[in-house]
Amino acid sequence: MNKWIELLLGLILINGAILVAWYSGDWTLFGHSLNLLTPAWIVLKGGIFWFVVMIGLLFIMLGISDLKD
DSSP code per residue over 1-43: --HHHHHHHHHHHHHHHHHHHHHGGG-EETTEE---HHHHHHH
Check: pTM over 0.75? Answer yes or no. no
The confidence score (pLDDT) of residue 67 equals 84
* Average pLDDT of adjacent 10-residue blocks, the chain of 69 residues: 85 88 78 81 94 93 83
CB atoms under 10 Å from CB of 35, counted, come to: 14
Listed by start position, the domains of the chain span: 3-68
